[in-house]
Amino acid sequence: MSATGGNGSQPGREDYSPFIAPAGAKAAANAGDLSLLERLEALQLRPSEGWLTLGLVIVMVATIGLSLDDPQWVLGNGELTDFLAPVGALGVVWGFLSAKAGWSRWLAHFLGAVFAALIVPIAVGMGLNPADQSIGGLFHATAESTVNAYLDLAWRGQTITQQYGHFMLVLGILCWATGQFAGYAVFGHRRPLNAVVLTGMLLVASMSITIRDQLGFLVLFSLAALSLLVRSHTLEERTSWLRRRIGDPATVGRLYLRGGSAFVAAAVGAALLLTATASSAPLAGAWTGVDQQIIEWGQQIQRFLPCCGAGTRISGVSFGPNADIVGVWETSSTPAVVITRNPTDTTPYYWMATTYDTFTLKGWTRSKEVGVDRQPGESMLKDTLEGQYPPREKQTASFNISALRYRGDVLLTPTVPLTPMANFVDSVPTHLTLLADGSYFLSVQSDDHDDYQVTADIPTVGDKGINQNLLRAAGKSYPPEIRGLYLDYPEEAIGPNATKLLKEIKASGKTDTPFDLAMTTQSYLRSNAFTYDQDVRAFGCTSNVVECFARDRHGYCQYFASTMAILLRAEGVPTRLVQGFLPGDKDSSGAHETLTFAQSHAWVQVYFPGIGWVNFDPTGGRAVVTALPAGPAIPALPSPSVAEIPSVGDFQSDDPRRSVRPAGGGTESGGPSSPGNPPFVIVGFLLLTAVLGLAFAAYQRGPRGPIQPDSVYDGVVRLARRFGYGPRPTQTVYEYTGALGDELPAARPSLELVARAKVEVAYGRRELGQDRLGALREAQRRLRVTLLRLIFRRHRWRSRR
C-alpha cells in the first residue's frame, strides 16, 4: 500500500474512509473494464471495514440457521428448514446495505421488516408447496397454512394444530431479524460486540435444546466472532493513529491482525483441547433437572408449534397435558428413577404417570381438568368416580420412589392389571388432577418429587380377584360420564385403512364381549403383521396416526395404543391412553427396581362396569403381558338402571380441606388450556408490556436525588446513542458536545454546561456548588426533551461521520 492516497490525503487515508472511490474508477466502470468487485468499489459500496468483515458476519448468522436446521425442528423433516441459513445471510446483507445508505436505525429496520415479509414467506412456501414455484403460489401456501393454524386454535376448538407453515415462518423471521440486527450493528452503529453477543446467545440457546453434537458449529462461530472483533479493533486503532498522525497506520494494522489471528487460533485450539481431555464437571449440579424442564416447556408449546425433530430435547419423556405423536420415539438407557420395594413381591408392575381422554389425530390431550389438593396419607381417589368400585380382593404394597434423571413433578403409581383404587402418597403433599368435575384420574403432581412413598391397594389376580370371566360378565352398562368422556373420537380417525384393520381383527378371534374384543385386538396388534419401529419418519405420516399405522403397520407404543383405543371406541368400548413406564430391572436382592428412559411407554386402559379400568398393552416387541386366569364361570352381571349408575354429584365432598380448582391455577372453563384463550392472553401480555414500558419511561424522565456531572453526561450520551448520535472513540467531551450542538443549536447552552461540569469534575477534580448542581439538573431535564429531535436528523450525522 502506498504511503499517500490517490487524492493527496494523509498516509493510509484510503483504507479508513467510509467509502472508497479510487481515481478513475468510475470512468473505468463506464468503460466496462472492471470486475464485479471493482464495480462495487466504483459505486462507493466497499465498506471501510473490508469485505471480509461482511463475510464474517454472514458466517456468524448462517451458523445459527444451520444449528436450527440440524435437529429438524419441524415435524422431524430437515428439508423444511434448509432455508434458514440463506435467509439469515440475506438479513445481514440488508443490514449492511441500509447502513451504507446512511438510513436511520428505525427506517432501516422498518424497511427490513417489509422485505422480510416479502422474502421469508416465499422461502417458507418453497418447503410447503415445492410443486408450485410461482410467487403467488408460494405466498398462498404460506398464508393458507398460517391462517389455518390460527383458525384451528382460536375458532375451531382444536386442542392442537396440524399446520406447520407458521412454525417455519417464525424460524425464518428469527433468522432474518438476527442477521439484520447483526449487519446494522457492525456497519451502522460500529458495535460488533453487540452482534457477537446476540448471535452467540441464540446459538447457545439453540445448542442447549439440541441433543445432537453441534461442536463444529460452535467452533465455526467462535472463529468468525473472534476474527470480527480483532478486525474491528484493528480498524479503530488504525483510525486513531491516522487521526493523530503518528506512525504508519498500515503497519499498525498488520501487526494487530497478525497478533489477533494468532490469538484466535490459540484460543480456539486450546478450547478444543480442553473439551477433548477435561473430565471434571464442576457445574454439572447446576443443570440437574434442566433437561426435564425443557421437555415440559416443549410439551406446552407443541400445541401451537408442531415440532419436534429427533435432534431436540423437547422430544424426550414427559407426562404433560398433551401427548403429541411425532415421527421418532426418543429414549435412552439413562436411569430415570429407582424404586425400593418388598423383595418378596415379584409382581411386574406397570408404572402409570398420566392418562388422556381426547384423541386429536396426531396425539392425545385432556378435555376439562380440575385440581384437588391432598395431604400426606390422604386417599387420592376418595370422593371420585374413579374409586367407586373397591377391589374384590386386594393386597397392600408400599414403594419408595427416588428420582434419578427424571425430574418431572408427575408422580408414578403402580398398576397391574387393574388400576389401584386406593392409592395415596404417604410422605409429601400432592395435587391431584382430575377430569370432568373431579370424576376420573388424570395425574398426581408434587413439588417434592425427588423422593416419595406410595402406598396402594393392589387388586389380586385369580379366582377371587380379577379374571377373564369376571371381565366378560361386566357387560356394557357404562355410566353417563364414561360414555361422554371415553367414547368420542374424530370422525376422520376411522378411515378406509382403519376400517379394513378392524375387519381383520374381528375375523381373527372372539369379539362377543368388550373383554373378548379387547383381547383379540391386543393379540392381533402384537402379531407379526405389525412391526415395532421407533423411527417412522420415512413413512411420511403428517395427519392421522391411526390411519397411518393401519396402512404402514410400523410404529412405536403410541401408535399401537392409539390404534387400539380408537378401534375399541368405534365399537362402543370406553378406553383411555396411559403413559408411564414398563416394569423395570431389579437388582440381585429384588429390593430395588430401576426404570430407564428406554422403558417409558404408552398403553391402553379399558373400562368395565362395576370393576374399573384394566390395562391392555398392544405393543409388540417390548411390553410385558401378564395372562389373566380364566376364573370360575360367572353369569352376566345385571345391568343397573340409570338411577343406580353413580354420577359426579353423588361424590361431592363437604371436606373443607378439598379445594377444587382447575389444574394449573386457571378457571374451570376458559383457563389456560382453553383453545380460544391464546389471543386474549397475547393481548393481555402486550397491554401489560405497554403499561410497564410507560411506567419505566416515566421513571426515567427526570433526575431524582443527588446528581453528578459524570452521570448527567453519560445519560446524554446514552440517549443520543439511541438515535444514532453516539460519540466516536477518538472524540473528546468538548468535541462530542460541540458536534451535538451543531445539530441542535437550541441545546448548545445546556450541552456546554454539561460538558464543562464533566471536565471540571472528571479531570480537574473540582467539587461543584449547589448552584452549579441545580443548573446542571435543569440542563439535564431540558436535554431529555431536546435530544428527542435527533431521530429526524440521522442523515446529517452520518454525513459528518
Tell me the three-class secondary structure of 113-143, residue by residue.
HHHHHHHHHHHHHHHHCCCCCCHHHHHHHHH
Rg of the Cα atoms in the chain? 34
* Top-confidence range, 14-23, 146-155, 243-252, 643-652: 146-155
Higher local confidence (pLDDT), 109 or 367: 109
- What is the crossing angle of helices 192-208 and 215-244, to 10°? 170
- 559-594 pLDDT tens trace: 999 999 999 999 999 999 999 999 998 988 889 999
**pLDDT at 609 exceeding the cut of 60:** yes
pLDDT given at position 632: 81
Whole-angstrom distance, CA of residue 170 vs CA of residue 182: 18
Percent of the chain predicted with pLDDT > 90: 21
**Can you tell me whether residue 425 is helix, strand or coil?**
strand
The mean per-residue pLDDT over the stretch 536-554 comes to 86
- The edge-to-edge listing of strands for the beta sheet with 335-340 is 424-425, 451-459, 394-403, 335-340, 592-596, 585-586
How close are the terminal C-alpha atoms of the chain, in Å?
24
Contact status, residue 591 vs residue 601, Cβ threshold 8 Å: no
Percent of the chain predicted with pLDDT > 70: 72
- Per the listing, cell 409388540 goes with 620
Can you give the three-state secondary structure of 778-791, one letter per residue? HHHHHHHHHHHHHH
Whole-angstrom distance, CA of residue 130 vs CA of residue 25: 44
**pLDDT at 392 exceeding the cut of 50:** yes
Peptide bond into 557 cis (omega under 30): no
Lowest mean pLDDT among 4-18, 291-305, 427-441: 4-18
Lowest mean pLDDT among 40-49, 108-117, 475-484: 40-49
Alpha-helical (H) ranges within 163-318 are 165-187, 192-208, 215-244, 249-277, 290-301
- 96-118 pLDDT tens trace: 999 888 888 889 999 999 999 99
Whole-angstrom distance, CA of residue 529 vs CA of residue 541: 19
- 136-168 pLDDT tens trace: 888 888 898 888 888 877 777 665 676 788 888
The mean per-residue pLDDT over the stretch 661-679 comes to 37
Which cell numbers hold the place of 762?
Answer: 472528571
pLDDT given at position 158: 63
pLDDT given at position 417: 66
The mean per-residue pLDDT over the stretch 695-706 comes to 51
pLDDT given at position 625: 65
pLDDT given at position 640: 47
Task: Write down the mean pLDDT value for the chain.
Answer: 76
**pLDDT at 644 exceeding the cut of 60:** no
- What is the crossing angle of helices 135-154 and 678-700, to 10°? 100
Whole-angstrom distance, CA of residue 287 vs CA of residue 276: 21
* Those residues with Cβ within 8 angstroms of residue 294's Cβ, 6 or more apart along the chain or in another chain: 208, 209, 313, 314
**pLDDT at 441 exceeding the cut of 70:** yes
Residue 364 exposed, middle or buried by CB count within 10 Å (0-12, 13-18, 19+): buried
The mean per-residue pLDDT over the stretch 21-48 comes to 49
**pLDDT at 728 exceeding the cut of 70:** yes
Tallying the residues shown for the chain, one arrives at 801
The mean per-residue pLDDT over the stretch 180-190 comes to 91
Q: Which of 443, 517, 438 is nearest to 485 (CA)?
A: 438
Q: Which of 416, 399, 477, 411 is nearest to 442 (CA)?
A: 411
The mean per-residue pLDDT over the stretch 41-48 comes to 57
- What is the crossing angle of helices 770-786 and 709-722, to 10°? 10
pLDDT given at position 676: 40
Phi, psi torsion values for 454, nearest 5 degrees: -115, 130
**pLDDT at 45 exceeding the cut of 60:** no
Higher local confidence (pLDDT), 353 or 298: 353
pLDDT given at position 14: 38
pLDDT given at position 563: 96
* Those residues with Cβ within 8 angstroms of residue 400's Cβ, 6 or more apart along the chain or in another chain: 339, 340, 341, 451, 452, 453
Phi, psi torsion values for 314, nearest 5 degrees: -65, -20
